[in-house]
Structure 1
Amino acid sequence: MRFNLRSSQDNSKFGVHVLVVLLGITSWSIMNGLWVELPILVVHLPEGWTLPSYLTIICQFGNIGPLVFSLLVYLTPRKKIETPTAFVIVVALTLCAALYGFLWQQRSPIGSKEHSVALMSLTLCQSIFAATTSMAYLAFMSHLKAQYIGSIFIGMSLSGLIPALAAIGQVPGEVECVTNASNITNVSLVYETRNFSQSILLDLNLLGPGMEMTSNHNVDSARHLQNVNGSEVSLRHYNEEPSFSVKYFFLMLASLGGFSFLSLVLLIHHPYCKTEHVDTKKEDNCRLVQINSFTNDSKDTQAEETVERTQFDQKQLSTVHTELQRHQQSDCKEDDASSDKSIEDESIDFEKNAAFNSLELEDKDEKEGQLSRAESWYLLGLLAWINMLQTSFVLAIQVFSSLPYGLFFYNGATKAENIVDPIACFLTMWVRVKSLRVISLLTLLGTLFSAYIIIVAAMSPNPFLVKQTAGGILIIAAWVISTALNVFAKVTIASVMRSQGRISLIYTGGSTQTGTLIGAVLAYVMINELRLFKDSPWC
């Protein structure tokens, strides 16, 4: 296990780090905004508890974007299409965020049921561009020095943190269950707050037939309860409006797109940032595949490197020779011709040895930084597994794992998960892990805590400790720890793959999307087809 603290002397610029972070914020800000708004959305929209599973499976159709991007990269290996793609992504995601603000609550009938067609259509559109960021943004980072790779992940994580902090300030309204009765003067009803598992019995004196109950709340659904003395009694749940609306929440996310667009322009064109650009041809050293289309580029790159190395060696030899001549002139003026010849021969030998040792050290460093093909595929497999769990499957069942403990804990779980994500990414800026054993251990521990979440969700709506505060605290703790471990392992793998070149980063993005797709399909089938996860009515 090897940890290294990154020094400040890494020849990177703080301003470029900031711009890279701003670029990464746009990547998943809309999708993360949807997730942190779920405590409000599941109450207002007709899908209810199954809404997360619908959103998760719809997002997987967004893999069309990465597939098209991968095909273009394969067909046009000499063209770096990631830069124009990044511009298209930023503009498209900004527009989607603005449209969410105005259309999120629109419903349309499909068959005999109503569905949130507008919200789901926008989710499909923005997921295509958001999913492409996993490949396009990482490929774009190959144009910058390796020191900046962690910053793009910090930005991607902040795309979850910023919506989470905004949602905390939003303060979702309470859900209340009230009676709707006739022909009865006294009835006991259940009043349920955010923690709907804790009920308070209230005695209300009602006025009798024709009574109307006034409220400033939104009525979302009702459930028939019982008949008392021939009179019908039912419970309706009312939802108070949050401190600021969902509309303004998404418009705030749209404003972030403007900052990301500006940062992308500066990263490409500003002289301050141009000094941090690198030649990607020298880094296309991926060992995962051998494609003829890349062979010619590789040969050209090797030829250029040979010329540059030869020029460097000649300069190095010239410098050493000059220093030796100065030494001869100052210390050996009185030596005879034979001594001069001896020194000259020694200088030539010294020059050759110095050049040989320099080239040998460079070759050794390059070999130590390279992964074998088996190691590369192993890390990509771990990355797919992590994303299957953390990015799609457990998120789809988050409502089943935490909402049985109360809306308060569900709200806390959605916010905590998005807050811990950037913190874990931020740690990778100082703590580097390169050992495959340590990465495997982190993945195993993250999997164990994810397993706890899955077990609790499978027991919904009556998991253990369901009526105790300790149960809610445990599930939030499980979400925090599993997210921290999985995200740290995920970013660490990406950092290791960054050292393998541009094509390796493209494969890293592909592995990310593959794992996410598998997890989403499994979650949708288990929730909506097999009904392995059960929900519960509000009242």
Structure 2
Amino acid sequence: MDNEIPKTRTQRRKKWMQGRGRLSVHILVIIFGITSWSIMNGLWVELPILVSYLPEGWTLPSDLTIVGQFGNLGPLAFSLLVYLFPRVKLEVPASILIVVVLSLCALLFSFLWRETATFGGSEYSIALLGLTFVQSVFAAMTSQAYLAFMSHLKARYMSSIFLGMSLSGLIPALVAVAQGSGTVRCISEKNIPSPSLEDSAGKNVLLTELPQENKSSGYIVATDNRTSSNSTQQVFEILKANSYEPALTVQHFFLLLFGLGLFSLLALLLLLYHPRCREEHVDADKEENCQLTSSTQKSSPEALKNGLVDSETGRGTNGGGISPGTELEDKFENQLSQSTTAHEQTNGSPVNDEGKHSETEGISDNNSDKILGKLESWYLLFLLAWINAVQTSFLLAVQVYSSLPYGLKFYNGATKAENIVDPIACFITIFITAKTSKVISALTLLGTLLASYIITMAALSPEPLLVDHLAGGILVIFFWICCTMVMVYTKVSIAAVMRSQGRLSLIWTGASTQTGAFLGAVLAYVMVNHLGLFKDAPWCPDDQRAISGVGE
């Protein structure tokens, strides 16, 4: 009897591991997902260096955000093709194309990131912004193409693709931590500028407002008037913030991302064609893995009547109730309109394999799911759009204002910490996810409250709370970590719930993700670049002083 207990435990442990799928396939899915946002995340973690080199200066984050959101043309094109060709599984060739193009973009970034051009009298980082647009078009498509691709694999691998996507932020962040943030040194330079800068009253003048092209260099100018028998001169001391790249340069950084893209391409090809990986494939048309525990689910009489579900097996017919010949909107409505009549008949409790009822828990492992109603599904998609508007776009656009006033090391820490926490939250969802709308709503509210503190600090820039204290910088990084953890965990939980509803639900999940990110980016761009609600600070604030006795 004593020997049977360990044996039973071993069998249970083995059965539990088998239910999680093959480790090798999980690893390949993770590597495949890394390419999704690696370049954009790489740009964000490099911002402490880029903002001190490129002419946009502190407005570069909001510029990158709005340019990146034009990448939503990619998901729009993908959605249109899905609508026009509903029977064609476009996600497979689209995924291959995405990995190839993103890898090439990383290669081009490494050589062209400092190229600029002048338009309308202002200098712009034309190469950086142009490549950002191209990679954004294809990176944004991953929200739909990659998720739709996962419908061809067993549902147990769903969390792994999100873990891979989060690693697209972690890996660049870890490289950037080893790289360092570079240095900005205030160097005194003296010159005699044009007489047009001379004060009409002949007094010492402190120039605090500089031309736009000089702000990113951090010039601070002080003057001292000199009068001789022949003329009056102004001697200027210019405190210029000179930037120095770290040993691991920006070029080397993007070359590493290019190599990462090649590994992702190899992983994708193995997932498609390796025999052991093909054993984990499913027929997406039949949606055999539409629900993680399909044997425990009962279908509504309405679904049976309309032929959406097989009356004997309880499984979806013709793609989980999706007719290939119907329009896209009808497909989604048919899929989401499966009611929970069977659950109501059992007092809201699904029936387990032993015929016993078990209450649906708010947070559980990935082995229990329920059929969502139409209203609940749209509500979850709305929450997903809100989370991405706040966390994916708006917060990133104002990150520099919330953390850089505390010092470059805190800005560097905030950009790295956010990308490190992201995969941790995704990894947790492999074992436990939020399953009910109430829990997901509570987590969304908590994340929004945490984000409110960050936005408030950004609005108070250049003098946020505790700006002259170490605790202020530590506190803002703490809020960045907590906010990212909660927001990422919540949106992955929503995607996991939508995965149980079928392939088309995942396409709509990707569409909601990009819609929210787009709206958040537009709002941030208007508030930062046009309304000027967020203020930057000079690089050398302690050196704003008038100079007297220069050159005596």
CA drift of 1:433 comes to 2.1
Native 8 Å contact 2:450 2:482 kept in 1: yes
The more displaced of 274-283 and 65-74 is 274-283
Native 8 Å contact 2:309 2:315 kept in 1: no
Residue by residue over 1:491-527, the C-alpha shift from the partner in whole angstroms, topping out at 9 and shown as x without a partner, is: 0000000000000000000000000000000000000
Residue by residue over 1:361-414, the C-alpha shift from the partner in whole angstroms, topping out at 9 and shown as x without a partner, is: 79x999972100011011101100000001000000000000111111000000
What pairs up with 1:166-245 in 2 under 5 angstroms?
A: 166-181=175-190, 220=217, 222-227=219-224, 231-245=235-249
Residue by residue over 1:195-228, the C-alpha shift from the partner in whole angstroms, topping out at 9 and shown as x without a partner, is: xxxxxxxxxxxxxxxxxxxxxxxx9453312327
- The percent of aligned pairs where both chains have the same amino acid is 57
Give the equivalent residue in structure 1 for 2:162. 153
Give the equivalent residue in structure 2 for 1:253. 257
How many angstroms apart in 1 are the aligned matches of 2:312 and 2:143?
31
What pairs up with 1:267-306 in 2 under 5 angstroms?
A: 267-283=271-287, 302=310
How many angstroms apart in 2 are the aligned matches of 1:488 and 1:373?
23
Native 8 Å contact 1:282 1:301 kept in 2: no
Native 8 Å contact 1:226 1:234 kept in 2: no
How many angstroms apart in 1 are the aligned matches of 2:368 and 2:415?
43
Native 8 Å contact 1:172 1:243 kept in 2: no
Does 1:102 find its partner at 2:111? yes
- Residue ranges of structure 1 left out of the alignment (5+ in a row): 184-218, 287-294, 310-356
CA drift of 1:240 comes to 2.0
Native 8 Å contact 2:218 2:538 kept in 1: no
Give the equivalent residue in structure 2 for 1:266. 270
Aligned length: 443
Q: 1:307 to 1:110 in 2, by over 3 A?
A: closer
1:225 maps to a residue whose letter is A
Which of 135, 140, 146 is the equivalent residue of 2:144? Answer: 135
Native 8 Å contact 1:96 1:122 kept in 2: yes
What pairs up with 1:387-406 in 2 under 5 angstroms?
A: 387-406=388-407
CA drift of 1:441 comes to 1.0
CA drift of 1:76 comes to 1.1
1:489 maps to a residue whose letter is T
The structure that has the greater radius of gyration is 1
Give the equivalent residue in structure 2 for 1:454. 455
Q: 1:368 to 1:101 in 2, by over 3 A?
A: closer
How many angstroms apart in 2 are the aligned matches of 1:226 and 1:150?
61
How many angstroms apart in 2 are the aligned matches of 1:389 and 1:74?
29
Give the equivalent residue in structure 2 for 1:344. none
CA drift of 1:173 comes to 1.9
Which of 126, 129, 135 is the equivalent residue of 1:126? Answer: 135
Q: 1:400 to 1:411 in 2, by over 3 A?
A: same
What pairs up with 1:272-421 in 2 under 5 angstroms?
A: 272-283=276-287, 302=310, 369-421=370-422
How many angstroms apart in 1 are the aligned matches of 2:434 and 2:141?
27
How many angstroms apart in 2 are the aligned matches of 1:487 and 1:455?
21
CA drift of 1:235 comes to 0.6
Q: 1:222 to 1:278 in 2, by over 3 A?
A: same
Q: Secondary structure at the match of 1:243?
A: coil
CA drift of 1:283 comes to 2.4
How many angstroms apart in 1 are the aligned matches of 2:156 and 2:66?
35
RCO higher in structure (CA 8 A, sep ≥6): 1
Q: Secondary structure at the match of 1:537?
A: coil
Does 1:489 find its partner at 2:490? yes
1:108 maps to a residue whose letter is A
CA drift of 1:179 comes to 1.2
Native 8 Å contact 1:153 1:425 kept in 2: yes
Q: Secondary structure at the match of 1:43?
A: coil
CA drift of 1:489 comes to 0.2
TM-score, normalised via structure 1 length: 0.78
Residue by residue over 1:284-324, the C-alpha shift from the partner in whole angstroms, topping out at 9 and shown as x without a partner, is: 979xxxxxxxx9xx969859968999xxxxxxxxxxxxxxx
Does 1:526 find its partner at 2:527? yes
Native 8 Å contact 2:308 2:316 kept in 1: no
Q: Secondary structure at the match of 1:151?
A: helix
CA drift of 1:231 comes to 2.9
CA drift of 1:537 comes to 2.1
Q: 1:360 to 1:372 in 2, by over 3 A?
A: farther
The more displaced of 385-394 and 437-446 is 437-446
- Residue ranges of structure 2 left out of the alignment (5+ in a row): 1-12, 193-215, 227-233, 292-302, 318-350, 361-366, 541-552
Supply the RMSD in Å over aligned alpha carbons. Answer: 2.9
